[in-house]
């Protein structure tokens, strides 16, 4: 059984110290095999925010996979955003934008869905392109019998109170492609809401903002996921009266047609 801690939208610069330290304590007491961080580590992509985010994550043991979000490129320095959107990320946090990590029983791939600009006024929206779909198919298609995980910032599933938010562009085309590569689990953030479901036989899990004050009608949260080749359980742990507590738990099982709710 593989343990995954899925955190997102840390927004250093707007982090809540009490919540930050409580999350750190939980993850140090019960370290996951994989820590998945689905973007928006910073609020304004400032060097000090990146340094603080890196220092926080380095205090959590275990294998780590981290992808950027739209807040991790400059919002005000438009020239830098257009010419070198990931300069600060690479200098102050990590040279990697789309890492691949693996461990006993899993292989995980990051996909950078954040874009420097878009055709709409809302540049916070993201998308996946054909090259990223192809790389995911190649990298995860060769994972053998290991659990195959994708980590991205923008959602590949919208449901409930998130229905009015922007889904990752081309995600509808991507999911059948990823299904053929036998992807099991897609993790995302961006909408600051916690939920999970299935798309094309793949489990998609979203989490809220894990430690920031930028709430969207739900408390801070993160996901504790337990998974093997037959069962995936997504436990939402939400901040309540000074501690993270189980809010709900969703269970999925593998079938010949893909993953379904159990």
Question: pTM for the full model?
Answer: 0.96
Mean pLDDT of 180-199: 97
**136 contacts 152 by C-beta, under 8 angstroms:** no
Two structure tokens written together for 109 = 């791939």
Residue 19 has pLDDT above 90, yes or no: yes
Scored b (16 or more CB within 10 A) or e, 124-145 reads bbbbbeeebbeebbebbeebee
Residue 80 has pLDDT above 80, yes or no: no
Q: What is the pLDDT of residue 125?
A: 87
Q: What is the pLDDT of residue 122?
A: 67
- CA separation (Å) from 211 to 21, 83, 251? 9, 31, 25
Q: The tokens 């337990």 sit on which residue? A: 226
Distance CA 196, CA 251 (A): 10
Average model confidence (pLDDT) across the chain: 94
Q: What is the pLDDT of residue 201?
A: 98
Mean pLDDT of 121-150: 92
Two structure tokens written together for 192 = 């600051």
Q: Where are the alpha helices (DSSP H) in 110-245?
A: 130-141, 171-180
Of 178, 131, 123, the closest CA to residue 156 belongs to 178
Distance CA 197, CA 19 (A): 27
Residue 144 CB contacts under 8 Å (≥ 6 apart), including other chains: none
**239 contacts 221 by C-beta, under 8 angstroms:** yes
The string of pLDDT tens digits covering residues 211-234 is 999 999 999 999 999 999 899 999
Residue 121 has pLDDT above 70, yes or no: no
Mean pLDDT of 227-253: 97
More confident residue, 116 or 184: 184
Residue 85 has pLDDT above 70, yes or no: yes
Q: How many CA atoms lie within 13 A of 50 on its CB side?
A: 22
């Amino acid at each position: 059984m593989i343990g995954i801690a899925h955190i997102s939208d840390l927004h250093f610069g707007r982090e809540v110290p009490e919540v930050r330290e409580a999350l750190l304590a939980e993850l140090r007491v019960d370290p996951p095999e994989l820590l998945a961080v689905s973007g928006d580590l910073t609020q304004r992509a400032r060097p000090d925010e990146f340094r603080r985010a890196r220092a926080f994550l380095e205090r959590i043991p275990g294998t780590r996979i981290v992808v950027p979000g739209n807040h991790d490129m400059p919002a005000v320095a438009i020239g830098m955003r257009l010419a070198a959107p990931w300069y600060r990320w690479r200098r102050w946090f990590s040279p990697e934008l789309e890492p691949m990590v693996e461990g006993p029983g899993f292989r995980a791939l990051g996909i950078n869905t954040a874009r420097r600009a878009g055709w709409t006024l809302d540049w916070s929206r993201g998308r996946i392109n054909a090259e990223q779909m192809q790389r995911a198919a190649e990298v995860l298609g060769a994972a053998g019998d290991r659990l195959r995980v994708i980590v991205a910032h923008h959602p590949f599933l919208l449901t409930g109170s998130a229905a009015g938010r922007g889904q990752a562009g081309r995600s509808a085309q991507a999911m059948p492609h990823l299904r053929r590569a036998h992807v099991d689990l897609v993790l995302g953030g961006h909408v600051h809401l916690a939920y999970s479901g299935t798309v094309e036989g793949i489990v998609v899990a979203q989490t809220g903002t894990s430690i920031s004050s930028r709430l969207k009608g739900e408390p801070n949260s993160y996901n504790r996921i337990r998974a093997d080749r037959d069962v995936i359980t997504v436990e939402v742990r939400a901040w309540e009266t000074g501690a993270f507590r189980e809010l709900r738990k969703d269970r999925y099982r593998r079938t010949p047609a893909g993953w379904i709710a159990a």
